[in-house]
Chain A
Amino acid sequence: MDVFATEKNRAVRRSVREFCDRHIVPVAAAVDREARFPWEVVEKMGAMGYFGIQALPELSGAGMDTVNYAIVIEEISRACGGLGLCVTVHNSVALYPILAFGTDEQKERLIPDLALGRKIGAFCLTEPNAGSDASAIEATAIPDRDHYLVNANKVFVTNGGVADVCLIFARTDPAAGRRGISVVIAERGTPGFAVGDLEDLSGMRANPVSSIRLTDCRVPKTNLLGREGQGLIIGLNALDTGRIGIASQAVGIAQAALDEATRYAKERRQFGQPIGRHQAVGAMIADMATWVDAARLLVFRAAACRDAGRPFTRESAMAKLYASEAACRVTDLAVQIHGGYGFSRAYAVERFHRDARVTRIYEGTSEIHRMVISRSVLED
């Protein structure tokens, strides 16, 4: 029982769960198998407001707070990790930075289409030689009268294959080091903007993760987000919020695995009784349920801190670290409880196990989060 949930939180959870059960769960296994981005479902999700969860209603958003945002992401991820990933990245590290750092003109021009899911957003930071060390990026956006001349090779771009609005991290002043990094918004269709092949990933296969290459791509200066040199500030700010989304995603996948494992442990009989009655399996279920609840509570704390306007970097890092590691443990035990069937693609836990793994890697690895948390604790 979640004693902290409000009537509104429950209304959001019920409505999203019902939507997912009706439209996403029936296709989740197939889109994973086919590595297909289900546009027919995504359009419906757009109409539900899932692509503008926290955008203001006057910009066609739903105007929800962060706790409700976390609930939406958790529920979508419970049905399909790849779509949960699409929605969290779109909302928190593509749309939100425009909302937080964009000019009025940029917001009015870009947010409504993003909030309604008519355009999909992406966050393009990672490069072949820059991952955890974001300041090592090599992309450049050289000012040229009223444009930037952008050259960038971005890899592992979530939503890359379908993204219309891409936040590109690039050096506008290559001599200025970390302070020369800026964010420019590149739109699909601009000459020089090319989407690479989709990655053949082990999990999150419904998400069209790809590389994006910009070659002498002329991006108008009106598409600079924030100020020149503000790139890493924008990036870190977006990732603080993004981590709450990834943590919610991990909770959703873990909850799905727990649900399947519990159902199976009640149905599957060995030695004359349901396997859940065997002490070893019961102990696994107990650990899984405890980890899922603990992860969710950490997510809600981080989200509530953000909603209260309080610092939440440490809280979101803890939520992301714990929830992603918990999701891997929970999905692993869900496979174990299913025995040989858990290793078969015919059973959903096999997919959850693959999907959970990357939550410990993207939007900051567990190792980076331990650095963030330890620094914060030691500086207290």
Chain B
Amino acid sequence: MRIAVCVKSVVTKEPKNVKGSRVPRNPEDCVLNPFDRPALSLALSLAGEEGEVIALSMGPPAAREALYEALAAGAHRGVLLSDPALAGADTLATSRALAAALQKLGLLNLVMFGARSSDSDTGHVGPQTAELLDLPLASWSLEAAPEEGGAFLAVVREADGFREALSLPLPAVLTVHHQARPPEDTGLAGIQEAFTQKTVETWTLADLPLDPALVGEPGSPTTVLSMTRAEKSRKCEFLEGDPQAQAVELTQRLKDKGLL
């Protein structure tokens, strides 16, 4: 199978001096979105020995490093979509750019995304890209296996405590549940191979048939006005009585809150 996995370079430190939607990037504080890793791992197992897995990302130059992480984990090729004209994009403008890049990559059996990102967590980009490409979508996928000679994909997805079995005609788009695959360690040999035998190509807006008015900040219908740390109020309460009474009280309270 030929699979593209769309990945994101996320920031690991609380951003400072944020103006609007643009978060300054320091390469030391950026990593491959941890929720993209199960998607990459699932893609590598679906692609098999003969297949090809292409990691695609849109972001500033610092996002190259997330693509190298994907190459070190086993992806065969990395493509970074990077252009000042793409900066400040909301999720729709991002999806438009990714959809154009995916079309440029040519025939793909599958496009995969992590179901969420660790830094903004909208979950929009995968479904929006599927819509723009007019491809069927399975979100929050836990398992996937080709069927009927590779014309269809059997998918198990999980949401709200239920599991759903689906069959999708290929090509299709999957967003992958973060528990689809256990965390994997990347060895030194993979890193060495990524930096000596593989490359990250950089594409600019000029490489894509896109109207500049539909991407970047101008193409973004939403605008982030501010970002502040969410204040969480916590209350600590001590239960009284003997241990059994405390246990009864605790279970009752959890039941009242719908947690048991």
With a CB–CB cut-off of 8 A, which chain A residues contact B31?
14
How many pairs of A and B residues are in contact by the CB < 8 Å rule? 64
* Secondary structure dominating the interface of A: helix
Query: How far, in Å, is A333 (CB) from chain B's closest CB?
Result: 25
B177-221 Cβ-contact flags toward A at 8 Å (1 or 0): 000000101111101101110000000000000000000000000
Are the C-beta atoms of B68 and A44 separated by less than 8 Å? Answer: no
A116–B163 CA distance with the chains assembled, in angstroms: 41
Are the C-beta atoms of A8 and B188 separated by less than 8 Å? Answer: no
A44–B185 CA distance with the chains assembled, in angstroms: 9
A5–B30 CA distance with the chains assembled, in angstroms: 14
Query: How far, in Å, is A93 (CB) from chain B's closest CB?
Result: 19
Are the C-beta atoms of B192 and A57 separated by less than 8 Å? Answer: yes
The chain B residue with its CB closest to the CB of A44 is B185
Q: How large is the interface on A (under 10, 10 to 19, 20 to 34, 35 or more residues)?
A: 20 to 34
With a CB–CB cut-off of 8 A, which chain A residues contact B68?
7-8, 11
Please tell me if B146 contacts chain A, counting CB pairs below 8 Å: no
Please tell me if A280 contacts chain B, counting CB pairs below 8 Å: no
Query: How far, in Å, is A68 (CB) from chain B's closest CB?
Result: 8
Please tell me if B27 contacts chain A, counting CB pairs below 8 Å: yes
Question: Given that A10-B65, A15-B72 are contacting pairs, would A57 and B189 also be in contact in the complex, using a CB cutoff of 8 Å?
Answer: yes
Are the C-beta atoms of A48 and B65 separated by less than 8 Å? Answer: no
Query: How far, in Å, is A293 (CB) from chain B's closest CB?
Result: 13
Among A5, A10, A48, which residue has its beta carbon within 8 angstroms of that of B188?
A: A48
Are the C-beta atoms of B195 and A15 separated by less than 8 Å? Answer: no
A44-86 Cβ-contact flags toward B at 8 Å (1 or 0): 1001111001000100001110001000100000000000000
Please tell me if A105 contacts chain B, counting CB pairs below 8 Å: no
A50–B187 CA distance with the chains assembled, in angstroms: 8
With a CB–CB cut-off of 8 A, which chain A residues contact B195?
7-8, 11
A57–B189 CA distance with the chains assembled, in angstroms: 8
The chain B residue with its CB closest to the CB of A52 is B188
The chain B residue with its CB closest to the CB of A5 is B28
* Secondary structure dominating the interface of B: helix
A23–B183 CA distance with the chains assembled, in angstroms: 12
Please tell me if B64 contacts chain A, counting CB pairs below 8 Å: yes
In residues 267-319 of chain A, which contact B (Cβ within 8 Å)? none
Please tell me if B69 contacts chain A, counting CB pairs below 8 Å: yes
Q: Which of B31, B65, B187 has the most CB of A within 10 A?
A: B187
Please tell me if A145 contacts chain B, counting CB pairs below 8 Å: no
With a CB–CB cut-off of 8 A, which chain A residues contact B222?
none
Query: How far, in Å, is A17 (CB) from chain B's closest CB?
Result: 10
Please tell me if B252 contacts chain A, counting CB pairs below 8 Å: no
Are the C-beta atoms of B189 and A22 separated by less than 8 Å? Answer: no
Please tell me if A12 contacts chain B, counting CB pairs below 8 Å: yes
Are the C-beta atoms of A22 and B185 separated by less than 8 Å? Answer: yes
A8–B191 CA distance with the chains assembled, in angstroms: 8
**Chain B interface, number of residues (Cβ within 8 angstroms):** 20
A8–B197 CA distance with the chains assembled, in angstroms: 13
Please tell me if B26 contacts chain A, counting CB pairs below 8 Å: yes
Among B28, B185, B188, B192, which residue has its beta carbon within 8 angstroms of that of A2?
A: B28
Query: How far, in Å, is A65 (CB) from chain B's closest CB?
Result: 10
Please tell me if A43 contacts chain B, counting CB pairs below 8 Å: no
The chain A residue with its CB closest to the CB of B32 is A14
A48–B187 CA distance with the chains assembled, in angstroms: 4
Among A5, A22, A23, A49, which residue has its beta carbon within 8 angstroms of that of B187?
A: A49
Among A11, A18, A53, A72, which residue has its beta carbon within 8 angstroms of that of B185?
A: A18
With a CB–CB cut-off of 8 A, which chain A residues contact B69?
11, 14-15
With a CB–CB cut-off of 8 A, which chain A residues contact B188?
12, 15, 48-50, 53, 62, 64, 68, 72
With a CB–CB cut-off of 8 A, which chain A residues contact B194?
11
A44–B189 CA distance with the chains assembled, in angstroms: 14
With a CB–CB cut-off of 8 A, which chain A residues contact B28?
1-2, 5, 10
Please tell me if A19 contacts chain B, counting CB pairs below 8 Å: yes
With a CB–CB cut-off of 8 A, which chain B residues contact A2?
28
A68–B191 CA distance with the chains assembled, in angstroms: 11
With a CB–CB cut-off of 8 A, which chain B residues contact A22?
183, 185
The chain B residue with its CB closest to the CB of A14 is B31
Are the C-beta atoms of B27 and A11 separated by less than 8 Å? Answer: no
The chain B residue with its CB closest to the CB of A13 is B28
A58–B131 CA distance with the chains assembled, in angstroms: 47
Question: Given that A7-B64, A7-B68 are contacting pairs, would A15 and B189 also be in contact in the complex, using a CB cutoff of 8 Å?
Answer: no
Are the C-beta atoms of B72 and A11 separated by less than 8 Å? Answer: yes
Query: How far, in Å, is A4 (CB) from chain B's closest CB?
Result: 12
A22–B34 CA distance with the chains assembled, in angstroms: 14
In residues 59-86 of chain B, which contact A (Cβ within 8 Å)? 64-65, 68-69, 72
A1–B26 CA distance with the chains assembled, in angstroms: 9
A44–B184 CA distance with the chains assembled, in angstroms: 11
Among B26, B64, B183, B189, which residue has its beta carbon within 8 angstroms of that of A49?
A: B189
Are the C-beta atoms of A12 and B189 separated by less than 8 Å? Answer: no
In residues 24-72 of chain B, which contact A (Cβ within 8 Å)? 26-28, 31, 64-65, 68-69, 72
Are the C-beta atoms of B189 and A62 separated by less than 8 Å? Answer: yes
In residues 1-44 of chain B, which contact A (Cβ within 8 Å)? 26-28, 31
Query: How far, in Å, is B94 (CB) from chain A's closest CB?
Result: 23
Given A11-B194, A15-B185, 9 more pairs with CB closer than 8 A: A1-B28, A10-B65, A11-B72, A12-B188, A15-B186, A48-B185, A49-B188, A53-B188, A72-B188
What are 15 A-B contacts with C-beta separation under 8 Å?
A: A1-B28, A7-B65, A7-B68, A8-B195, A10-B27, A10-B28, A11-B68, A15-B186, A15-B187, A15-B188, A18-B185, A23-B185, A53-B188, A62-B187, A62-B192
List the 7 shortest-distance A-B pairs measured between CB atoms, nearest first. Answer: A49-B188, A62-B188, A48-B187, A15-B186, A8-B195, A49-B187, A19-B185
